[in-house]
Structure 1
Amino acid sequence: MRSKQKNSKAPADQVVKDIRRATRKQYSAEEKIRIVLEGLRGDDTIAELCRREGIAQGVYYKWSKDFMEAGKKRLAGDTARAANNEEV
């Protein structure tokens, strides 16, 4: 009987995961930059910052890496950028 309960629970778990994924907060580029800069300032620990912002530490470090890589490319003279709608 227990195996039936596990099987009936699996679809419910998947539904909950799908709902969480669909309702997950989407951060704008400005919000990501603000959070990364706040982490670089060092007023709070990264753990405290991530807890306050509601993100995982791995997400913060990925954003930080992306931020640093973009800055490094820009400083190296890579001025190519995607055209925005007004330019097209």
Structure 2
Amino acid sequence: MNKKSGTSKDAADKLVKNIRRKTRRLHATEEKIRIVLAGLQGEESIAALCRREGISESLYYSWSKEFLEAGKQRLAGDTARQATSPEVKELRSESAALKEVVADLTLENRLLKKSILGDGEYEE
């Protein structure tokens, strides 16, 4: 009997997790920035801001930390951007084409070396 109630509890826990996962609110980047800037202005407490926005304080502080770290990197001159997906695909295809060229040239080079006689004269 205990085993049966344990599996139903597991199933219920799994169902609750799935519901929470599917109903989790996703915040747009602009919304996160707006909330963090409102908190940095200090016109209201962080607790009040979080209650009004419907987020936890720990979520606010993680967004705030990410926001400030990104600003710090930008001001430090770390402006390397992430390659976009089309750029990555283009670079990969270019790399494959160059590898083919290297393979062709290597093969041609080996064939030319084999056509040379041992005494340094070319075979005719």
Provide TM-score, normalisation by structure 1. Answer: 0.82
Tell me the equivalent position of 2:60. 60
Q: Structure 1 residues 32 and 9, CA, compared in 2 at 3 Å: closer, same or farther?
A: same
Uncovered stretches (5+) of structure 2, i.e. residues with no partner:
88-124
Question: Which AA in structure 2 matches 1:39?
Answer: G
Higher relative CO (Cα under 8 Å, sequence separation at least 6) belongs to: 1
4+ runs of 1 displaced by more than 6 Å?
none
Q: How much has 1:65 moved relative to structure 2?
A: 0.3
Give the number of aligned pairs: 86
Q: Pairwise mapping of residues 74-85 of structure 1 onto structure 2 (< 5 A)?
A: 74-84=74-84
**Higher normalized helix content (fraction of residues):** 2
Q: How much has 1:6 moved relative to structure 2?
A: 5.3
Query: Which structure has the larger Rg over C-alpha atoms?
Result: 2
Tell me the equivalent position of 1:20. 20
Uncovered stretches (5+) of structure 1, i.e. residues with no partner:
none
The sequence identity of aligned pairs, in percent, is 60
Provide TM-score, normalisation by structure 2. Answer: 0.60
